[in-house]
């Protein structure tokens, strides 16, 4: 059985389309397993999701940056979930994706609270004539 889709070699990124599974990569000699190429790609999505979620919490007080990072964390979590649903990724990644989605939502909430608080403070200063 050969690879129907363009999967890169896990070591050298060589396109392994047409390479029989189990045979080594023609470029570097690494054994070709379609699962390892899929796992590597989806692990990046899951890992990216949780890192962006954590950063969204940490950056929620930087005038909207937490909002952007939180949205990206949720998008990458959904990509991981979709790939698990389509049997393109191991189910073990669902926990990482869920953590990324939750931290993304927390970062979004904290950013909104921060922006609302800043808006209230500025409005209060303008109303009281400080500005």
Q: 26 and 57: one domain?
A: no
Total-model pTM = 0.67
Q: What is the pLDDT of residue 104?
A: 97
Q: Pick the residue with more confidence: 5 or 127?
A: 127
Q: 83 and 116: one domain?
A: yes
Other C-beta atoms closer than 10 Å to the C-beta of 84 total 18
Tens digit of pLDDT for each residue in 22-41?
677 777 877 665 555 555 55
Q: 80 and 122: one domain?
A: yes
Q: 22 and 60: one domain?
A: no
Residue 21 lies in a domain: yes
Residue 95 lies in a domain: yes
Q: 62 and 15: one domain?
A: no
Q: 93 and 121: one domain?
A: yes
Q: 50 and 6: one domain?
A: no
Tens digit of pLDDT for each residue in 46-99?
999 999 999 999 999 988 899 999 999 999 999 999 888 887 777 888 999 999
Radius of gyration of the chain (CA): 22
Q: How many domains does the chain have?
A: 2
Task: Give residue 67's domain range.
Answer: 43-127
Residue 38 lies in a domain: no
Contacts of 20 (CB under 8 A, 6+ apart): 1, 2, 32
Phi, psi of 43 (to 5 degrees): -65, -35
Q: 79 and 108: one domain?
A: yes
């Amino acid at each position: 059985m050969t690879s129907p889709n363009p999967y890169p070699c896990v070591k050298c990124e060589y396109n392994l389309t047409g390479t029989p599974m189990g045979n080594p990569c023609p470029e570097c000699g690494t054994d070709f397993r379609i699962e390892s190429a899929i796992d590597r790609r989806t692990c990046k999505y899951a890992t990216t999701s949780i890192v962006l979620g954590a950063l969204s919490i940490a950056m929620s007080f930087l005038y909207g940056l937490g909002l952007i990072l939180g949205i990206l964390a949720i998008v990458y979590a959904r990509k991981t979930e979709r790939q698990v649903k389509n049997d393109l990724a191991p189910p073990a990644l669902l926990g990482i994706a869920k953590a990324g989605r939750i931290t993304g939502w927390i970062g979004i909430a904290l950013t909104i609270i921060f922006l609302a608080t800043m808006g209230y403070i500025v409005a209060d200063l303008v109303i009281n004539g400080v500005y």
